[in-house]
Amino acid sequence: MSVARAGSARPVEARGAAGIIAAVVIAVVGGVLVVHSTQVALTMTLLLLLLAARFQSRTAGLSLMWSYWLLAPFLRRVLDNSIGPVSPDPLSLLPFLATALLAAIELRHTHLDKRARTILTLGMVGFLIGAPLGLVADPTAAGFAVFAYGTGLSAFIIGWGDGQLRDGTGTLQKLVFYVLPVLALYGLAQYFFSLTSWDAHWVATTTLNSLGSPQEGHIRIFSTLNAPYTFAAVLGVGLLLGLAQQRRVGFRSLITAILVVALALTFMRSVWLGTVVGLIVFAAAARGRAAGRIVVIVGVCLFALIVVGNSNPTTKAFTERVTSLGSVEKDRSAQERLSTTDELFPVALRQPLGEGSGQAGLASELTGGNKSSSTLLNVDNGYLSLMFQDGPFGFLLVVIALVLSTGAAIRAVGMATEEERQSRAAVLATIIMLLVALAAGDILFGIPGVILWYLCGTAVAWASKSALRTSTQPSRVR
Of these ranges, 152-156, 264-268, 357-361, the one predicted with the greatest mean pLDDT is: 152-156
For residue 238, pLDDT over 80 is answered with yes
Q: Work out the average pLDDT over 92-101.
A: 93
Asked if residues 400 and 266 have their Cβ atoms less than 8 Å apart, the reply is no
3-state secondary structure of 219: strand
Of 453, 415, 441, 461, which is closest to residue 172 (Cα–Cα)? 453
For residue 119, pLDDT over 90 is answered with yes
For residue 134, pLDDT over 60 is answered with yes
Average pLDDT over the chain reads: 79
Model pLDDT, residue 375: 44
For residue 434, pLDDT over 90 is answered with yes
For residue 216, pLDDT over 70 is answered with no
For residue 108, pLDDT over 90 is answered with no
The mean-pLDDT minimum among 175-184, 197-206, 226-235, 372-381 falls in: 372-381
Q: Work out the average pLDDT over 206-232.
A: 80
Model pLDDT, residue 440: 83
Q: 257 pLDDT band (50/70/90 cuts)?
A: confident
Orientation angle between helical segments 447-472 and 139-164, nearest 10 degrees: 30
Model pLDDT, residue 65: 95
In single-letter form, the type of residue at position 183 comes to L
Percent of the chain with pLDDT over 90: 31
Q: How buried is residue 473: exposed, middle or buried, by Cβ count under 10 Å (0-12/13-18/19+)?
A: exposed
Spatial CB neighbours of 166, under 8 Å, sequence gap ≥ 6: none
Going from N- to C-terminal start, the domains of the chain cover: 22-109, 114-467
> Per DSSP, which regions of 358-450 are E strands?
none
d(CA 112, CA 460): 10
Model pLDDT, residue 297: 64
Spatial CB neighbours of 327, under 8 Å, sequence gap ≥ 6: none
d(CA 295, CA 168): 27
Give 462 or 32, the one with higher predicted confidence: 462
For residue 403, pLDDT over 90 is answered with yes
- Write the pLDDT tens digit of every residue in 323-343: 555 555 555 555 566 666 667
d(CA 325, CA 10): 68
Residue 8 sits at the vertex; the CA angle it makes with 2 and 14, to the nearest 5 degrees, is: 130
3-state secondary structure of 212: strand
End-to-end CA distance of the chain: 58
- Write the pLDDT tens digit of every residue in 22-68: 555 555 555 555 556 778 888 888 888 898 888 888 888 999 999 99
Q: 460 pLDDT band (50/70/90 cuts)?
A: very high
The mean-pLDDT minimum among 2-16, 233-247, 419-433 falls in: 2-16
Model pLDDT, residue 308: 52
Model pLDDT, residue 15: 45
In single-letter form, the type of residue at position 376 comes to L
Q: How many CB atoms are located within 10 Å of the residue 255 CB? A: 21
- Write the pLDDT tens digit of every residue in 152-166: 999 999 999 988 886
